[in-house]
Chain A
Amino acid sequence: MIEKLKSLETSFKKVLKETDTEAKLADLKARFLGKKGELSAILKSLAQASPEERKTLGQAANEMKIRLTGKMDEAKGAIERTIIDSKLAADWIDITLTGSQRARSVKESGLHPVTIVQRELEDIFLSMGFDILDGPHIENDFYNFTALNIPETHPARDMQDTFWFKDMKHLLRTHTSTIQIRGMEEKKYPPFKFVAPGKVFRSEATDASHEAVFHQMEGMLIGRDITVAHLIYFEKTLLSEIFKRDVEIRLRPGFFPFVEPGFELDIQCLICGGKGCKVCKQTGWVELLPCGMTHPNVLRHGGIDPEEYNGFAFGLGLDRLVMMRYGINDIRLLHSGSIDFSRQFATC
């Protein structure tokens, strides 16, 4: 009897191998496992066996039935998949045809490079506890000059080619330093620190490196007992973060009426490492940002008592950083409105 069972399983496996359609599968099931199938026939013949034999054989037959059913379900799954796959073979798309491969006039969308760099700087400043402020482009004489210790007769007004409106009282801000005063007025109670990015305007003939409209970022920190040593530490930290590497800086005297002492801050040339090259005009240093200790008159104009508080201020040329970052050779492109320009930066 046991031989019969074994032989049944062998022939089942043999037939299963050739079962590749749902119809054949039904035949297979009927032949081996159906009511009139071979296994049923074997089980019926068990009636004549001895009780011990019946027990062993019954168990073996049941186990075999489970095995064969399992195999048959597997085969069923495989057959179904083959059928679906043959349909899918006729129903698929070209997966290489992604957006970037398609012929379209303009397929990119993205931020302007000034926005990209400005956000990055804002985030660095925010991480250092600086608030981000804003102010009007159209200013009056007070915020742009007088409050910044630049009285009407001051030669510093020569250095800035100011766009005046016809009333000769209002002007387009020549620097984001206007926010020094507006920021102090807003913040009122030191200690505080803030930056102000934005457009500034100079009546200047334009060429590849000069624009009448460009971007600056002003910064100011006011507190008690702030020193030049603090300023140096802060600028070094800031610039190392901006350039994503350790930078060497140096301060040299610079004249800006709203700071005293005032500095030009140079960074050691990142191209030659200070040895001297074309970029740094052989000096090893590149002029990067003007800064200084806030002039007591400016503090007074901002409503802060200079005997109690002091601080420092600095200005970053945002466009210059953008141009350095991306190797842009013409500043006029920034305000060109050109999509051929904008589509080159961090687009999706």
Chain B
Amino acid sequence: MNISLDWIKDFVDLPEGLSDRELSERITLGVCEVEGYERTGVMPGKVTVAAVRAVAPHPDADKLHLATVDIGGGNEATVVCGAPNCRAGIKVPYAFLGTSFPGGFTLEKKKIRGIVSEGMLCSEQELGLSDNHEGLLELASDAPVGVKLSEVLDGAVDDLVLDIDNKSLTHRPDLWGHYGMAREFAAVFEKPFKDKFDTSWTNNLKARIDKSGAKPPVTIHVDKDSANRGFLGLSVDGVSIGESPEWMRKRLIVAGMRPINSIVDISNYVMLETGIPNHIFDRSTIEGGKIVVRRAGDEQTFVTLDEQERKLIPSDTLVCDAGNPSAIAGIMGGLKSSVADDTSGIMIEVANWTDAEIRRTSTRLGLRTDASQRYEKSLDSRQLEKTVLRIFELVLELNPEATAVGGIQSDNMPDPVELAIETSPARIAAVLGEDVGEKRLTGILEALGFIVKSIPGAVTGTDGKGKTHLIHVPTWRSTKDIECEADIVEEIGRIIGYDSITPVSPAHDIEALRLSSAKIMTRKAQDYMVLRGRALEVMTYPLVGEALLKKASWPIHNEGLVLANALTSEHDRMRPSLVPSLLEATANNRKEHDIFRIFEVGRSYVDLGGENFSRDLHQIGVVFQETKTNPFAELADTMEGLLSYLGLPSRMVPADPLKGNSLIPAAWAGSHPHEMVDIQVMGRSRGVILTLHPQVGRAFKIKGRTALAVLDLTEVITAGVKDKTVFKPLDRFPGSDFDITVVTPAETYAVEVSAVVKGMKMKELRSVGILDVFDLGEEGKALTLHIEFRNPEKTLDAAFIKEAEDKVITVLDKAGFPLRS
């Protein structure tokens, strides 16, 4: 929103000597964010009155002229000009080279179609006076040549325009007009607020209305169950439509609105002043002499002023006449009610509407207007009368013959909400950390329109928490913004300026603190994957689309976790697994690189349905990508090492892809038929390692060999892990090693063989490991085990060793793994 300082000065005298930057900064620090500021109507000294002496065609351009102008002081200039009204004899604004225009452009010396233009002749738009760009601004024929334009042009006032960030006004319904904003300026700069719209002003205008005494030509009926919060109407006769005065046009332009005609301009002008939207009807368009406010009900559509047909729902509120709707309440009017050139009888409508309802309708229609964005903020119905009177005042100013017909018609006007908040200067100081004193506090609040009264007999008390004062909140602040004591604290804080508060350290609490076990474990997992897994951490979108899930042949589509308002179908639901995201990332990276390792610490989401709805799962997903070597073994080593480093006892169990496991759906097409391992942690399946099935790899265009792993940490990280390591005394007696090679069927897993030996429960058996596997072709495999015997009490003797070795051979033989001869 644009705020004109010239306009603000109607209500407050600002201190002298403030720079534009200082002024903007004070408002930013005390009220709302000034995003930028600009001088307009600059009429820099370099724009002067010039007389066109002669006009010749431009030799190289049909539409351009070469104007010879008298710029005063006996000097002439030749200017290239394209305006159709450029002709000898007229007086026009002339800008010297170097002039900076309101739009930010600076006139520089340059050739236009081969001819140097010595300056520029200006249109209204170029001077920021209006958006009229049809031709040069023609000045009065008696305007003296060579003088500054500002001296001959009334409307060309030097002004500072502040660009206010609307978002910073979200909670301030009272700041959507210059009148309310001026009160803030007065408080910030400690200057009196000149309330032009005071009681005597009100009484004077009301007197002019009441004198008419006639019967009102339009009556108003408001359905109580509509979105209305008060409706006022005033009929005025004897109005003629024309161009509004220069000062009004200029202020509208500065505020970012286009001047249209005197009545529309007044309507907009007053909205920009009091902050209350309004509508001026051509009374001849009001059928049946009455206005009815009601819910849309059966009404299906309405064509708004911008000629768009809008779909209505029964709960929308409409402003209607005896026959048809004329406006969607609080948002936009229709085509027919607007004033026309021959309008003479008008009705001024000023109403208030329920914020939430306007917001809902406007959001649904995708129609956000100057009116709706104000009503959304919850306006004060007490400002309606002021607004009617101000419109009436301006109508009278432009149409001295105009008269009000009948009094101000009113319906559904709510009683003002009285709000008073108990507090005390001490309580406010206790939150700010700065005591401003009762006098200053009262001064600030009163400048902002609050009324401060002390509560008789109330004392602060020894704890300093007694409430001694009652702060009456002005109606324009009590609609939503100010609700409780904390809001009063803010009023004081922002006006004294938070800069004036001396920073103080909070008191220390002695408290031992460490990272949560979840945090520690997550960090350890990341570190391990980087340092030992030699992988790069990546992040992928937690949102996926059905196309990706299908590409990954992932059967779970999380239909219950689909968004109502997704941005794209590619990211319209929460991912059921890290796997599809990791495959997508692998495919993207595979375009540039053939060997890499990535991991993500991320979440997948379970669609639980019902009351519980969903569950976030904390997981780590890993991909090892190779060209020719099978990366499975290295990945499995890494995962085993990771679990050990995390202190999680785990088992790696060959899994059946047809059955799936806790992380991989049964018969998932992406799983290799023989290379899938279930990771069991703390007795439950919590992870998987598998080789990607080449068929799914092909769907993603992932060439080479891919192994992936997912580990679910959801439960284990919150449970935390105790370090259960216990020291064992070092061995004092030597052990005995023994290697043995047996023959096994091709499909036998090596661990099945070592498990046979481990199962012997021989107390001297210290360890069994697989030393080597050799393919024997049709005969199966030759498997060499490395076995260590040791007795902590004594050195093993030869007889024992021989016996033990024989036992091992026998047990293996019985299990179907004969000694290789």
Residues of A within 8 A of B (CB): 104-106, 108-112, 114-115, 119, 122, 126, 129-134, 136-138, 140, 152-153, 155-156, 158-159, 162-170, 172, 191, 199, 201, 203-206, 212-213, 221, 223, 225-230, 232-234, 236-237, 250-255, 260-264, 281, 283, 293, 295-296, 307, 310, 334-343, 347-348
Contact = CB atoms under 8 A, between A and B. Distances in A.
Contacts of A283: 25
A313 B449 CA distance: 30
A169 B611 CA distance: 10
A229 B376 CA distance: 34
B390 interface: no
Interface of B: 25, 28-33, 36, 167-168, 170-172, 355-356, 359, 363, 376-377, 430-434, 465, 484-487, 489-490, 493-494, 498-499, 501-507, 509, 511, 513-516, 518-519, 523, 526, 529-531, 533-543, 560-567, 571, 574, 581-582, 584-585, 588-589, 592-598, 600-601, 603, 605, 613-616
27 contacts: A106-B596, A109-B534, A111-B537, A112-B539, A114-B539, A122-B519, A153-B359, A155-B170, A163-B566, A164-B565, A191-B509, A226-B506, A229-B501, A232-B501, A234-B505, A252-B28, A253-B168, A261-B489, A263-B498, A283-B25, A310-B431, A336-B540, A336-B588, A338-B538, A338-B588, A339-B596, A343-B536
Q: Which 8 A-B pairs have the closest CB atoms?
A: A229-B433, A227-B433, A337-B585, A153-B356, A261-B490, A233-B503, A260-B486, A251-B498
Given A112-B538, A155-B355, A223-B509, 8 more contacts: A111-B530, A153-B355, A156-B170, A172-B563, A227-B431, A253-B494, A337-B584, A343-B536
A159 B588 CA distance: 35
Given A111-B530, A337-B584, A339-B593, A137 B542 contact: yes
Contact of A335 (B36, B489, B526, B541): B541
Given A109-B535, A234-B506, A167 B613 contact: yes
Given A106-B593, A109-B531, A250-B499, A339 B536 contact: yes
B152 to A, nearest CB: 34
Contact of B506 (A230, A251, A337): A230
B498 A155 contact: no
Given A109-B536, A170-B613, A338-B589, A165 B564 contact: yes
A250 B589 CA distance: 44
Given A122-B519, A227-B430, A229-B434, A253 B588 contact: no
A274 B50 CA distance: 44
Contact of A155 (B377, B509, B540): B377
Contacts, number: 248
B613 A138 contact: yes
Contacts of B561: 138, 165
Given A105-B596, A138-B613, A138-B614, A225 B430 contact: yes
Contact of B592 (A130, A165, A340): A340
B484 A260 contact: yes
A255 B538 contact: no
A54 to B, nearest CB: 56
B536 A106 contact: yes
B594 to A, nearest CB: 5
Contacts of B377: 155
A138 to B, nearest CB: 5
A191 to B, nearest CB: 5
Contacts of B36: 281
B593 A232 contact: no
Contacts of A253: 29-32, 168, 490, 494
A155 B376 contact: yes
Residue in B29, B31, B490, B534 with the greatest tally of chain A CB atoms within 10 Å: B490
Nearest to A109: B534
Contact of B168 (A137, A237, A255): A255
Contacts of B494: 252-253, 261
A106 B563 CA distance: 37
A213 B574 CA distance: 12
Contact of A165 (B485, B562, B571): B562
Contacts of A159: 167, 170
A220 to B, nearest CB: 13
B564 A252 contact: no
Contacts of A228: 431-434, 493, 498, 501
B543 A166 contact: no
A337 B598 contact: yes
Contact of B539 (A227, A260, A335): A335
Given A110-B536, A250-B499, A342-B537, A337 B530 contact: no
Given A155-B377, A295-B486, A164 B563 contact: yes
A131 B530 contact: no
A230 B30 contact: no
Nearest to A337: B585
